[in-house]
Structure 1
Amino acid sequence: MKQSVKIFLLLIAIFGSVFLSSCVHEDGPLTGKTVCLDPGHGGTSDIDSYRVGVAGEREEWIDLRVALKLKSLLEEKDCRVIMTREKDVAVPLKERALMAIDGEADAFISIHHNATADTTVNFPTVYFHGNASENQASVLLGLTIIRQLRRSLFHADTPVSLVSDHTIFPTAGTAVLRHSYGLPGVIGEASFFSNPSEEQRLKQNDYNDLEAMAYLRGLEEYFSAAPLPVLEKNSLVTIAPFEVFQEA
């Protein structure tokens, strides 16, 4: 009888320890990190008619849907999230960047979607600020994100574009990345809402989920890698400046 009791207690101890160990929370690459999510634009439906697809879907609506989904995914990973907006409202560009700086974010992700006059075009683009040789952390962040965007939303042979924001705004780069320089940050243009087929996909919650998950996996990959620096700027812009309308 005593022997049976001992065996019973031993089994309880063994299975109890296995159960407890399975319940122990293991930290992941996002645990304790702070990510600032910036859904692009907002509150512009009354002042512009170009940031909208042929079927009427506006970019700022898509940006916000994806960002809110990504916020939930990040919080499930014990990541603190700063949102520059959670409604369809306008927020000044510098203010968005300062939210990331003041909140001591470990990464800044500005979520956008692209457009062009050619409605057949559709591929992912990610922008980092300044020079790749200086902004090494943002280049790595952009690389991990664009790789996951292609994997989730496109064919393996789809071309991708990871470039400096000086290619679109040669004199200074984009405002949100310029004012948040010093922390790893990118603007993600996952796809082209000007492509009618893509616009229809972007209206679907399941497709927005895929995009949000791609950003999550990109961030996990980034924070799992060896950290790279963001060096001080000391290089001149060599692209000849030209006049542009800047809102990014």
Structure 2
Amino acid sequence: MAGLAVAPAAHSQTATRRRSPARQLPLVVLDPGHGGTDPGAIGAEGTQEKRITLPLALELKRRLEHGGRCRVAMTRTRDVFVPLARRVQLARDREAALLLSIHADASPPGHAALRGASVYTMSETATDAVAAAIARRENRADQAGGLRLPSVSPEVQRILLSLMRQETRAGSERLARLTVNALDGQVILLNQPLRRAQFVVLKAPDVPAALVECGFLSNRQDEALLRRADHRAKLAASLAEAVHGFIGARSVA
């Protein structure tokens, strides 16, 4: 009987040891753009951005979890509207290692020929007029992009934000470079694919973040590709490679 009494405890300790590493894994937050009442960009053939980004994010989640190097959370797992500020706050509240926002865009007027994937990091100054226009359109989904900051004096708050943002900005740039490098040669890239703009969803001062525009739905060739599961799988494989590269560099540091 004594042996029977000890067995559950031993099993429990073994289970705890097995579960502990998973809790230590870095958390990756995937953010499928738009949803619910906000379809996002609409393609030449009527394809809605929200119906491209969600299956792509779910495929990326599957690949990352299969890799076993990180935990994954998503800002939405179904067709619902999620305010931009809530997407940011989810990553901050859970102390995410990174936030990867996934989109498919429509070109601004006068740029109908644009096609290809690109990767954005946060900047008050946009790379060019196209980047600025894209950011304005994405940000219109939600105007409440404020951050929840500690209750400290304005001077201390300024110093804390400066230190956090400096480190976060470096991480975001590294994540973006890894993402462009992983996509290069696998999918068509926009000219000057590493870009910057003032996206609300990239504004967390303490979570490295990048926004991937997987192509232009306003371009019939890009739209046709993004509708294909095999093309989205290729995108997901490249994005998983970038995330794993970022996590690996982070753990070494």
**Normalising to structure 1: TM-score of the pair?**
0.69
Shift of 1:131: 7.2
Please show how residues 153-168 of structure 1 align to structure 2 within 5 Å.
Answer: 153-154=187-188, 159-165=191-197
Shift of 1:102: 1.1
Shift of 1:105: 0.8
Instruction: Tell me the equivalent position of 2:146.
Output: none
Q: Distance in 1 between matches of 2:183 and 2:176?
A: 10
| Uncovered stretches (5+) of structure 2, i.e. residues with no partner | 1-23, 126-164
Q: Any idea what SS the aligned residue of 2:191 has? A: coil
Per-residue deviation, residues 135-182 of structure 1 (Å, max 9, x unmatched):
111001000001212221127xx63322222xxxxxxx222111x221
Aligned with residue 62 of structure 1, among 18, 35, 52? 52
Shift of 1:226: 5.9
Q: Which has the larger radius of gyration?
A: 1
RMSD over equivalenced CA pairs, Å = 2.6
Please show how residues 84-99 of structure 1 align to structure 2 within 5 Å.
Answer: 84-99=75-90
The residue type equivalent to 2:191 in the other structure is P
Q: Distance in 1 between matches of 2:209 and 2:66?
A: 22
Q: Any idea what SS the aligned residue of 1:159 has? A: strand
Retained in 1: the 8 A contact 2:41–2:104?
no
Instruction: Tell me the equivalent position of 1:137.
Output: 171
Shift of 1:51: 1.7
Q: Any idea what SS the aligned residue of 1:122 has? A: coil
Aligned with residue 199 of structure 1, among 204, 223, 232? 223
Q: Any idea what SS the aligned residue of 2:104 has? A: strand
Q: Number of aligned pairs?
A: 187
Retained in 2: the 8 A contact 1:123–1:190?
yes
Matched, 1:146 2:139: no
Structure 2 CA distance for partners of 1:188 and 1:228, relative to 1, 3 Å: farther
Higher relative contact order (CA 8 A, sep 6+): 2
Matched, 1:43 2:36: yes
Q: What percentage of aligned pairs have identical amino acids?
A: 31
Instruction: Tell me the equivalent position of 1:109.
Output: 100
Q: Any idea what SS the aligned residue of 1:160 has? A: strand
**Larger % of helix: which?**
2
Aligned with residue 77 of structure 1, among 64, 67, 71? 67
Per-residue deviation, residues 23-74 of structure 1 (Å, max 9, x unmatched):
xxxxxxxx812100000011135xx7x7211111111111111100001011
Matched, 1:210 2:201: no
Retained in 1: the 8 A contact 2:112–2:218?
yes
